[in-house]
Amino acid sequence: MKVAAVQMVSGPRVADNLAAARGLLERAAAEGAELAVLPEYFCAMGMRDTDKLALAETLGEGPVQHFLAHIARALNLWLVGGTLPMACADAQRVRNTSLVYSPAGECVARYDKIHLFRFDNGREQYDEGRAIEAGDAPVQFRLAARDGRAWCVGLSVCYDLRFPELFRSHARAGADLLLVPSAFTVPTGQAHWELLLRARAVENQAYVLAPAQGGVHENGRRTWGHSMLVDPWGDVLAVQAQGPGVVVGTVDAGRLQQVRAQLPALAHRVL
């Protein structure tokens, strides 16, 4: 099955970001992708953290969700909408939510980012907890590929990547493919992005598809990019360093079975 990680450099205007996402998704579909995944904050990288509040949608309603449903249907894609702000009980916060759409345009899964990023190196400071309410449950969904193969797909978002217990819960549920839509900073991405993606692939013997924000944004933030596809042996199959683009590669059930058969580490778990 061909899959695509969409890399963007999103700005503060939703309409502009959706137009950019559409063009990139059309490229992914033209290259034969059955599954396309957008990056974290694909619909808006605001000038301030609190800008998310004005963009919050409720499940099943809103321009970003309508866009995702329409594009999935129009392009006949399984589509994972990076993240978008979803309303929650706390009016001063939103959930950072990843929604999954089938090729029929139906929303089939929702994951709310569990781990909220906080970072301060003296030059850059971030604290997602100021405007985001954390989720509390792992989520997987089942994807039926055009060749009839069923894939179990585990969802995560960005900072979740640092918490192997989340990915182990996906492995226990039978995940074959792990998705990591992200907006890594340059300092943390340069140091740890590829290292962590490859580690999650190796330890869970699963493919990892990681679309990212990658460039300099209007709000001054710099994101690391390097969207990539990693195979279950830890090999990087495709990558894009910076700028908007599409990383397309193949997830192979035979390769997955080969890795798990030659080194049955998942079956050797004790704890």
Instruction: Please give the model's pTM, rounded to 2 decimal places.
Output: 0.98
The whole-angstrom separation of Cα 112 and Cα 20 is 24
Domain boundaries, the chain: 2-268
Secondary structure element (H or E) that encloses residue 217, with its range: none
CATH architecture type of domain 2-268: 4-Layer Sandwich (3.60)
Q: What is the pLDDT of residues 106-123, one digit of tens each?
A: 999 999 999 999 999 999
Amino acid letter at 124? E
113 is catalytic: yes
Candidates 40, 57, 128, 133; catalytic one: 40
What tokens were used for 233? 């042996």
Candidates 57, 128, 133, 158; catalytic one: 158
pLDDT at position 77, please? Answer: 98
151, 176 Cβ separation under 8 angstroms: yes
40 is catalytic: yes
For residues 137-154, one letter each, b for 16 or more C-beta atoms within 10 angstroms of the residue's C-beta and e for the rest, the string is ebbbbebebeeeeebbbb
pLDDT at position 271, please? Answer: 86
Give me the long-range contacts of 161-164 (CB less than 8 A, separation at least 24): 161/196, 161/197, 161/200, 162/115, 162/192, 162/196, 163/114, 163/115, 164/199, 164/200, 164/203
Mean pLDDT by 10 residues, the chain (271 residues): 98 98 98 98 95 96 98 98 97 97 98 96 92 98 97 98 98 98 98 98 98 97 98 98 98 98 96 86
Candidates 34, 57, 88, 113; catalytic one: 113
Amino acid letter at 6? V
